[in-house]
Structures are given as structure tokens and as C-alpha cells.
Amino acid sequence: MKKFKIDTNLVKSLVNSDFLLIEKRKSKNKDNLRFEGLRTSVCKRDISLLDPLEVLKTLKQMIRVFHFAKNNTKYKIDLHFFLNEDNTLLSYLLKNSLDNVLVNSQISFAINEGSRVSKNFVRSKKFCLGFILDKDISRDKNFMKKQFYKGNYLFFKVNSNIERVQNSYKMYNNFDDYKKILFFISFLKQILISQYSLKSYEIQKKV
């Protein structure tokens, strides 16, 4: 009988980066959550262990979207990252890890900028993918509408808010720890390496 070897590197990375842990915020809403499992208290902080299977599902969704973009469109990938202005660490790591010099032939990216594509979207031939990273956009009720108008149609949200209306892919988590940021960016880089045959050593020397 053939034995299958299970690659546990991703699970180990999730554990080591604390990506499966999240601090509970006080909320009157108790509709939570298929994402949360075991809850405990550490130094007067309520900590929840996220369901590993649910986390893996959302990560797999990211892989599938990039796979779709590569195999079903002839467009270049245009990534847009939206984050709080005061999250300088996340901004810095994104800029240094996803430098346009590395991927300028296939992928471009921008941070806290709207897509340049609007009326000439078809002519520019770019597949726009947005990431809303731990940013509260509830105060800007027209945020999504404006992005759709500019050509951004697919979005991933990463936050720990309870949202009844889902107009994007959702990853229930936050970036309150630098290890989580490093894991997320590393995971994204690995997708780009595998899907677009980027040279890993070129990316590593820029980090």
C-alpha cells in the first residue's frame, strides 16, 4: 500500500507565527464564529485559538484566485494593498518584500492608492486584486463602490471584525503581531514564486 507523505511545513509556520491565535475584543455581538475554537485567558487577555481548517481554507482561496488569474486571463496582475496609515511596519515590509524591480514584467503593486485604471481599464489589460489588511473601511460607505468603478473587483479582507455583509473574500485574523505580518507576506511571496516562476533567491536578497 502506497504511503502518502504529508507536508506539515505550512501548519508549523501557522503555529510558530501565532497566526492561529487572536486576542478577543470586547463586543456585544455573540454571533461568533466558526473560525474560533478553544478560548483561554493569559495575563488578563482573552485569547482564542482559530480553527486551523478554516484558516487553511482561506489561505487556499488566495492560491486559487492567483491560479485563476494566471490561467484564465492574459492580463498582468495589479495588486492593491489598503492599510491604516499608522501601520508603518506592515507598509515597510510590503514595500521591501514585493519590490516592483523583482516582478515588474508580470506584477505591479501599490499601497493605499486607488487603481490607475478606470476608463481605460480594458486597454490596460490588468487583473486587479485588492487586499484590505486590518483596515476599518466602515466609515467610508462608498469605498467598495469607488474601487469597483476604478477596476478593482476582487478583494481579500483580513480583519477580526464581525461583518454581516460580505462583498469580498474574508480571512478572520489581524496583524497585531509582527510575526503574523511576516507569515502573511511570506505566504504571498511563495504564491508568486510558485505561480509565476519568480526566482526565490531574488526575493530573499531584497528582504
Q: What is the pLDDT of residue 147?
A: 81
Of 196, 187, 11, 10, the closest CA to residue 97 belongs to 187
On whether the CB atoms of residues 54 and 34 are closer than 8 A, the answer is: yes
pLDDT tens per residue, range 147-206: 877 777 788 999 888 776 667 888 989 998 899 999 999 999 888 877 776 554 444 433
> Whole-model pTM above 0.95?
no
Q: Determine the Cα–Cα distance for residues 179 and 175; give it in Å rounded to an integer.
A: 8
Torsion region of 112: left, alpha or beta (phi above 0 gives left; psi -120 to 50 gives alpha): left
pLDDT tens per residue, range 90-127: 999 988 887 754 555 567 788 887 544 444 444 456 78
Of 85, 99, 186, the closest CA to residue 134 belongs to 85
Residue 28: CB atoms within 10 Å: 4
pLDDT tens per residue, range 34-89: 666 666 666 667 788 888 888 999 999 999 888 888 776 677 778 889 998 888 99
Q: What is the pLDDT of residue 117?
A: 43
Q: Is the pLDDT of residue 131 over 90?
A: yes
The full set of domains in the chain, from first to last, is 9-204 (3.40.50.10490)
